Amino acid sequence: MDNEISTQPHGMEDVEIQEWLESLDSVLESSGPEVAAEILERLRAHATVNGIDLPFTANTPYANTIPPRLEPLFPGDQELERRIKSLIRWNALAMVVRANRVEHNIGGHISTYASAATLYEVGFNHFFRARTEEFEGDTVYFQGHASPGMYARAFLEGRISAQKLENFRRELKPGGGLSSYPHPWLMPDFWEFPTVSMGLSPLMAIYQARFNRYLEDRGLKPVTDAKVWAFLGDGETDEPESLGAITLASREHLDNLIFVINCNLQRLDGPVRGNGQIIQELESAFRGAGWNVIKVLWGSEWDPIFERDTEGLLIKRMGQTVDGDYQKLVVSSGAYVREHFFGSDPRLLQLVEPLPDEALRRLRLGGHDPRKVYAAYKAAVDHRGCPTVILARTIKGYGLGEAGEGKNVTHQQKKLNEDELREFRSRFGIPLNDVDCIEVPFYRPAEDSAEIQYLRARREALGGYVPKRSIRSKPLVADHDDLFKEFHEGSDGREVSTTMAFVGMLRKMLKDPEIGKLIVPIVPDEARTFGMESLFRTVGIYSSVGQRYEPVDVNTLLYYKEAKDGQILEEGITEAGSMASFIAAGSAFATHGINTIPFFIYYSMFGFQRIADFIWAAADMRTRGFLLGGTAGRTTLSGEGLQHQDGNSHILALPVPNNKAYDPAFAFEIAVIIQDGIRRMYKDGENVFYYITVMNEPYAMPPMPGDVKDGILQGMYRFRPAVNTKAKLCAQLFGSGAILNEALRAQEILETKYGVAADVWSVTSYKELYKNGIECERWNRLHPSEKARVPYVTKCLADAPGVLVAASDYLKTLPNMISKWMPRRLAALGTDGFGRSEGRAALRDFFEVDSRFLTLATLHELFVDGKIERSVLDKAIKDLGINADKPNPAIS
């Protein structure tokens, strides 16, 4: 803070600099900014050619991007808008304070909205257009922790009752409450996008904006000027997802996308960059990525001071001040600011000489000045050719005074004492007396007050209220029996993988008259892995610019065809980005009223394991569609090793309540699951989405053995009963996915070598069986005098004789979690442990899930039941070639 500022590099004369500046001014005046920019660009090139080493910087000075002379007129009634905003501030604060008075530690945030109120209010009064019959509307991602402000506004709008506000964070109260953050699952008529897991919404917003273009380019929706707005915290930008896709946005020229970053310079614990400048850091990142950056740093009160600063001293001083100092300065007294900021140079002091200390203290930051914010938004909305980011400087906890303004603890401030409440009330002119205000009542002016009338009129002019979620798509009508029938027939002995079978279905679905155009295949650079390259040619890869080059393989049948109306979203190596596309496509039934059906196929290990939080957000959003975990199974993906071989995802899918997870073995199973899924989601409007694992192991696909559709969907069915119905030794074998074939082989070994008659079941979904089991248990507990419900597993196995043995390519937990609804003890085999770079046979030996281990496990269970001698076991271990002293795969 105490560096002496010099403006004379290498002894250059003031007058010389002045001349250069004056001539630029005159160009600006006579020929405009474009010519001035051209001259500067030429100068830069000239300097470089002449050996002048100009340091690279993507930064502009620490000043507002839009100069006052280019600011548009503010179109609103600024005084009324200020009063409305003050009321919202009060009610937002009241929600949190009241909630915490009733229930200590119920939480909530005051400071985030306090800093962002102007950023939102300018949007609500002038920019955010609602979704209407005629216009699709703008899409707004609200910063999660600012939710009290959105609720408080909806309260003034008459959309949320005082009782609901009273029950902020108390959703289970009679009459209902409000969820802490934006959760469409919890408030499906209000919130559209879950944003509170920080970093997700910026990435989702980018892909949403790109998906909007995709829908337009494919003729699924009209071309409009609808915008996607994403409001982020500056601390949030540290999440890798936040900035991870910004180059996609510029590459795709997404001028329908606007980021507003609330730069209050603070996060939860303290400053975002105490020793640096987060705004400058973000500016260079975004400018470097090709975004239009608009900095809104200083409020109107600063304009005359800058005008007096003909030497550029002030801007230089601002550029040298670190955020830690700024955090202190903005909440300090005028005298302090004069001494510590302007006092570093007598010439700076002179600039503010006419201003009394009180005026110095009141110099607003840009993000708190509606005129500056309006100018930035207007420029962003009008900007063409690339996305815009607005970096708005604000104060965290603005208006809280001693209760937290700009303090490091402010993020978690939830309580104000009486004096602090009175001060806040006075500062924002809330019409409550000294006694009433300490009760922190909600305050809504009369319906016919100027404030309410204005607020309603503004929203009416913008098409209605925001946020608001509604489902505008019409249900599908066809049943698609014909589409899926052929896959019930089997492959006639031809060896195909379930992935190939799925791709065959996808190809057919793409041709369907009803759903063909709605299918959105999404792939993160793995189409060839899954044998999908034929689709490149038939439906094309989406590219907003078509194909500007002749592809190297143009003479081949399956050339790499990019097209403006291409249907495949080939996202490149980004599972997170692909998932964001999945979310955009799978929620279009609400966002756009379009039933797009996404099929996102990826390396299964890089799904739930890598991007689980996006999947959780998709669930919250009631996203529809199909996630396909390709190359799935710990022992079915050979060669790749421990980072690729997935024995986890069906476990990781368990916690997602509305996700239906299937591990099918055969083509007909997949056909049944997908057909039923489309019906549930797009015809019946169920809020579910699917996870289906598909494998790359080729084998003959059998025909569907009778009508087992219901069993497939419920999670299990008897695929191949034992031949010998009179055998003394019996078993039930449960297999899933590619491991089902091991169970079928074990069935033969057991029958021919050990006289054991085994039925083989295909368990298509342990998750479905588990959910059904716990649902029955719960119902029975709550209804003791009614007829008990019987879990589906129990029903299936009611008359099934013999010992029970299960094997899957996933952790043993899966079968174990349903064993309690089985009639007897279950032996579970699975693939707990790290994978190996090996072939399938060796892997199944290593993980002890092949037909030999299934046979041994069955014999062992029979031995435990006293049905066979120990010697049979000893001999079997030898005969089956099992190494009993091999390492334990679970821990090696």
Q: Which residues bind ligand TPP (CB under 6 A)?
A: 112, 115, 145, 196-199, 233-236, 262, 264, 266-268, 272, 396, 411
Judged by beta carbon, residue 145 or residue 767, the one nearer ligand TPP is 145
From Mg ion, ligand TPP, none, interface partner of 457 (C-beta below 5 to 8 A by class) = none
From ligand TPP, Mg ion, none, interface partner of 183 (C-beta below 5 to 8 A by class) = none
From ligand TPP, Mg ion, none, interface partner of 772 (C-beta below 5 to 8 A by class) = none
From Mg ion, ligand TPP, none, interface partner of 299 (C-beta below 5 to 8 A by class) = none
Strand partners, 689: 659
From Mg ion, ligand TPP, none, interface partner of 236 (C-beta below 5 to 8 A by class) = ligand TPP
From ligand TPP, Mg ion, none, interface partner of 198 (C-beta below 5 to 8 A by class) = ligand TPP
CB of 340 to ligand TPP, least distance (A): 24
According to DSSP H, which parts of 644-738 are helical? 649-652, 667-678, 709-714
Q: How far apart are CA 442 and CA 424, in angstroms?
A: 14
According to DSSP H, which parts of 184-310 are helical? 200-217, 240-244, 246-251, 278-288, 303-308
CB of 269 to ligand TPP, least distance (A): 8
Q: 551-560: list long-range contacts, CB under 8 Å, 24+ apart.
A: 558/533, 558/534, 560/536
- What does the DSSP assignment read for 99-143? HHHHSTT----SHHHHHHHHHHHHHHHHT-PPP-SS----EEE--
Judged by beta carbon, residue 100 or residue 491, the one nearer ligand TPP is 100
Contacts (Cβ under 8 Å, ≥6 apart) of 841: 850
> Could you tell me the two tokens for 193?
């996008």
> Could you tell me the two tokens for 72?
């548009």
Q: Which residue, 844, 868, 892, 673, is CA-closest to 765?
A: 673
Beta pairing, strands 228-233 & 756-763: unpaired
CB of 145 to ligand TPP, least distance (A): 5
392, 373 in Cβ contact below 8 A?
A: yes
CB of 376 to Mg ion, least distance (A): 18
Beta pairing, strands 716-720 & 729-735: unpaired
- What does the DSSP assignment read for 799-814? T--SEEEEE-SS-THH
CA-based radius of gyration for the chain: 33
Interior/surface letters 97-115, b for 16+ CB within 10 angstroms, e for the rest: bbbbeeeeebebbbbbbbb
596, 626 in Cβ contact below 8 A?
A: no
Judged by beta carbon, residue 619 or residue 749, the one nearer ligand TPP is 619
CB count in 10 Å sphere of residue 284: 16
Judged by beta carbon, residue 113 or residue 668, the one nearer Mg ion is 113
Judged by beta carbon, residue 413 or residue 635, the one nearer ligand TPP is 413
CB of 36 to ligand TPP, least distance (A): 36
* Contacting positions for Mg ion (CB under 5 A): 233-235, 264, 266
From Mg ion, ligand TPP, none, interface partner of 268 (C-beta below 5 to 8 A by class) = ligand TPP
Judged by beta carbon, residue 182 or residue 235, the one nearer Mg ion is 235
Judged by beta carbon, residue 396 or residue 718, the one nearer ligand TPP is 396
Q: Counting Cβ atoms within 10 Å, is residue 433 exposed (0-12), middle (13-18) or buried (19+)?
A: exposed
Strand partners, 661: 691
From ligand TPP, Mg ion, none, interface partner of 112 (C-beta below 5 to 8 A by class) = ligand TPP
CB of 147 to ligand TPP, least distance (A): 11
Q: How many CA atoms lie within 13 A of 726 on its CB side?
A: 0
CB of 332 to ligand TPP, least distance (A): 20
Judged by beta carbon, residue 113 or residue 443, the one nearer Mg ion is 113
Judged by beta carbon, residue 112 or residue 736, the one nearer ligand TPP is 112
CB of 740 to ligand TPP, least distance (A): 39
From ligand TPP, Mg ion, none, interface partner of 320 (C-beta below 5 to 8 A by class) = none
Q: What residue is closest to ligand TPP based on CB?
A: 233
CB of 237 to ligand TPP, least distance (A): 7
From Mg ion, ligand TPP, none, interface partner of 197 (C-beta below 5 to 8 A by class) = ligand TPP
CB of 502 to Mg ion, least distance (A): 44
Judged by beta carbon, residue 396 or residue 444, the one nearer Mg ion is 396
